[in-house]
Structure 1
């Protein structure tokens, strides 16, 4: 039962973050350029995902040849 409650809380959190992002985009596009807003959104997402990437790099030694490539693509995109 505890896992179901945790899953529900995480689902509600994800839904609220997803919904707020559209409101944020609508408000920010009125003031800023579309490319600036899109770039900022991708940059913030990359900053959020970077700790997870670093943890996965530390825990997996089998895919060590893929890590620099993944890091490069995370910077480019």
Structure 2
């Protein structure tokens, strides 16, 4: 995903992801502004696999901790750094 702030990524719920034609992420951005960020085909494939492997309700966090709560910004940043390298 491109264009998301880490705090926006942490706050995403499963229902915020739209896959298929015109795939995008719908999030509440800085200043409580509604933002829509398009997804690349590679990101769609990865997120689709993730959602298939990790079942949940639409209101559940997209990237939960093992306790089912949203990951914190501090937990996400090292993972992004590791996998972006």
TM-score of the two chains, using structure 1 as the length reference: 0.24
Greater relative CO (CA pairs within 8 A, separation 6+): 2
Q: Specify which structure has the higher proportion of strand.
A: 2
TM-score by length of 2: 0.22
